[in-house]
A and B are shown apart, each in its own frame.
Chain A
């Protein structure tokens, strides 16, 4: 213990010599972050440039805040922001507790075979591609011949509802689909955190007469509070980012009033339209809002629960 403290306090040069194999192992990681995460940030300049392939990012002329003005004065601006926020709220806030609940439930299952099968079943959807999931969904929700409409028809309903073409069903479909896909995967980290809770606490609580629910409430949940807090803070950063594939594929003329989000807009107008600068400007807005949200959530979390990222 004493020597490790000494080693930490040793000058960087000495530490480099002593632990050089470890530092060399770190090199690929650092290179990865520099090349893939930091160098591309220079591309943010595009948000202020009239990009020309011939002149390159740095040689293209400056346009100042033009793209930002265009976006904030555009016909769709408010609707896009509102839709993105709502979808972000559904994905980051509304779906958030469900993975915790599943983890708590799985933790209480004593039959290991049943537990493993349940876990596998809940993880599997995470590995399906969005295109496959949406195709399945389109078939299930198809008017007339779709499974859901067949059931409705069997129960005496009309059975010809075009769920994907009606605005009123959009959020429900999105929520159910996203939850089904991610709940199992998201619960893994909570299960791992639960496994780390001291088992003697449960024994003590049991001796004090606590039932399952009380143990869950007073021991398990406080025990994984740190993990919940961290994941919540990180999730908040994605509030202004709805994800592209899923919404793009679910979007129909009937539900586009709700399904037009910033991510879809960026691809539709920015990338497919070749307006890289405009797309970058919108991406930059999303990134900055995400950063502000994470910092704010971190502060609030720290103040209220003493859990924080930094």
Chain B
């Protein structure tokens, strides 16, 4: 009997504990202290520069810059920006200064994802964003980016974004978007002022005030493409700049192989490796540039005046045969298209390849030693080695959420960030903390310069919180538009002018750009696939386009007898997907305006 009573007591206690646990688990955590509960609370907490109430009182700057005493939450879908956020945003000088001058408590959120946060953007826009989010920022070079259809659907079908056209007209900076010629054609027609939208929902960012896309400035240039080990180039007595054609490139690879160079571990060097960031198809556009006929998203116009997908022409066999030759002769790593970033890094640091498939001068392996120098660049299909530019462009996109409380204030805040004062704060930080004014121009303090030169990003992000040309909190770089650093601040980016170059961690990056200058050529227009939207063949053809890179790689590795059948099967797939309808549409657009599509050969 006693035993039974004890059993009941214990089981009742157990059940009670479980129910209590369950209820606790289901609770909303209401007791948890909120860091960002109200703007008033935030203000009280910001000790350095005084409270919001004080600001409302009559700070001189406040009259012009004050927006509202509130919080703005921004969801970031730019991995470079999301990975460079201060650990404690509220106590970072730039965030505090924003609060002091505008009243805005800025809160930045980031969800890591793959493909430059594309999957996070897609999933969150389809499943619904955190209701507290006021705006989002994502990658967007132009309307052919994979992010764009996702954004367009959210704007057009799901009506998730606020129409900012009314606020734009009288804004300080974004009113410029209405000026003729300020926005690139694609940004104007396809992103910001779309005819199928009844307002402005997507703001293209990072559009420069002055178009300098054709000007080569070594202080700013990112020199992408293949790089060769300097000692190998010296030993073979070749000038890396002289390698221009696929034949010359092939001969160089053969020479390297025949010479029998060894890596740091005593192993044979493979002449051509993948991208520094791992195996990828994209490196082909540098290393086999002269054989990449489909320059406009795999489309181009042939000598007969007709438009084709590269798979439909025999040009594709030139590329396939060339790559197969390199693979078969051991001149190119078999994992060129499929290698993890870690392994590629390990191999490059061990000098296991003579030529890096693709890297640029602002990557540590390049600027931290004298081991690698740019190769080429190789000629493209038109026979010159100029870099193609499509002119003025943008790189990110801002959308204010329909759910945001008072979207006008949110818009005003982003507009303010792009004013001279906002840009100064975003790029240089706070006066007296990270820069001082010298002859009317901001100049970084010695401490910040030293940290910049040491590459101490953590310090720059957490102790200042400004962008510093992308070396600090990158969010403040990508959120800007109407940039013109040369005219506004007297230098291309913070810290670029003055000082001892030998101390500058990026000194070699600039030196490389000076020693290996490049020329630009302007090819106007959009990639062909930008015009696929709305056609009946869109879905099937898009799927086929997406499959093409993999089909091509498959052809590189297939048995010789299978290559033709792979290409023929893909040609058949394009036909079934409705490529003829698409080509007709492209031809119509091209005939109306030959600069609408970026074909060249």
Chain B neighbourhood of A160, CB < 8 A:
330, 334
Is A156 part of the binding interface, using a Cβ–Cβ cutoff of 8 Å?
no
**Does A253 lie within 8 Å of B551, measured CB to CB?**
yes
Known contacts A254-B553, A257-B554, A273-B122; 19 further A-B pairs (Cβ under 8 A): A21-B14, A24-B18, A25-B11, A25-B15, A25-B18, A27-B19, A51-B126, A53-B125, A75-B577, A135-B340, A142-B335, A144-B270, A160-B334, A252-B338, A253-B337, A253-B338, A253-B551, A272-B118, A276-B126
Q: Complex formed: what's the CA distance from A70 to B540 in Å?
A: 10
Say if the beta carbon of A28 comes within 8 Å of chain B. yes
Q: Which of B19, B157, B554 contacts A52 (CB 8 A)?
A: B157
B264 in the interface (beta carbon within 8 A): no
* Alpha-carbon distance between A218 and B195 when the two chains are bound, in angstroms: 78
Interface size class of A (residues with CB under 8 A): 35 or more
Instruction: Count CB-based A-B contacts (< 8 Å).
Output: 96
- A164–B338 contact, CB under 8 A? yes
Q: Please report the C-alpha to C-alpha distance between residue A254 and residue B566 in the assembled complex, in whole angstroms.
A: 12
Kindly identify which residue among A21, A74, A135, A166 contacts B557, using a CB–CB cutoff of 8 Å: A166
Q: Is A157 an interface residue (CB 8 A)?
A: no
Q: Which one, B19, B123, B159, B340, contacts A24 given CB within 8 A?
A: B19
Give the residues in chain A near B549, CB-CB below 8 Å: 253
A182, CB-defined interface residue at 8 Å: no
Determine the distance from Cα of A274 to Cα of B543 in the docked complex, in whole angstroms: 14
Q: Is B543 within 8 A of A269, CB to CB?
A: yes
Residues of B near A74 (CB, < 8 A) are: 540, 543
Chain B contacts of A269 at CB under 8 A?
A: 543
Establish whether residues B18 and A28, one from each chain, have CB atoms under 8 Å apart when the complex forms. yes
**Complex interface bits, A262-291 against B, C-beta within 8 A gives 1, otherwise 0:** 000000010111101000000000000000
Report which residue of A143, A252, A271 has the largest number of chain B beta carbons within 10 angstroms of its beta carbon. Answer: A252
Asked if B511 CB lies within 8 Å of chain A CBs, one says no
Kindly identify, within residues 579 to 596 of chain B, every residue whose CB is under 8 Å from any CB belonging to chain A: none
Please, which residue of chain B has its CB at the minimum distance from the CB of A35? B26
Asked if B386 is at the interface (CB within 8 A of a chain A CB), the reply is no
Is the pair B576, A254 in contact by a Cβ cutoff of 8 Å? Answer: no
Within the assembled complex, what's the spacing in Å between the Cα atoms of A53 and B154? 8
* Residue pair B22, A28 in contact (C-beta under 8 Å): yes
Cross-chain contact of B126 among A28, A253, A257, A274 (Cβ < 8 A): A274
- Complex: chain A residue closest to B337, CB-CB: A253
User: 9 tightest CB-CB pairs across the interface, nearest first?
Assistant: A253-B553, A253-B550, A21-B11, A143-B334, A274-B122, A24-B15, A274-B126, A162-B334, A53-B158
Specify the chain A residue showing the minimal Cβ separation from B159.
A54
The interface size of chain B toward A, counting residues with CB under 8 Å, comes to 47
Question: How many whole Å from A56's CB to the nearest CB in chain B?
Answer: 9
Q: Mark A50-67, 1 if CB is under 8 A from B, else 0.
A: 011110000000000000
Are the CB atoms of B577 and A254 closer together than 8 Å?
no
How far apart are A257's CB and chain B's nearest CB, in angstroms?
8
A53 lies within 8 A of B551 (CB): no
Chain A residues, Cβ within 8 Å of B532: none
Name which residue of chain B comes closest to A268, CB basis: B546
Chain A residues near B15: list those with CB within 8 A. Answer: 21, 24-25
A165 within 8 A of B: yes
> Complex: how many Å from CA A75 to CA B159?
32
Of A21, A27, A75, which is within 8 A of B543 by CB?
Answer: A75
Q: Tell me, yes or no, whether A138 is within 8 Å of chain B by CB.
A: yes
State A24–B20 Cα separation when bound (angstroms): 12
B547 to chain A, nearest CB (A): 9
Q: B262 at the A/B interface (Cβ < 8 Å)?
A: no
Q: Is A309 an interface residue (CB 8 A)?
A: no
CA–CA, A144 to B269, complex, Å?
Answer: 11
B154 surroundings in chain A (CB, below 8 A): 53
Tell me the minimal C-beta distance from B425 to chain A in angstroms. Answer: 35
- B128, CB-defined interface residue at 8 Å: yes
B564 to chain A, nearest CB (A): 16
Give chain B interface residues in 522-575, CB to chain A under 8 Å. 539-540, 543-544, 549-554, 557, 573
In the complex, B153 has a CB within 8 A of chain A: yes
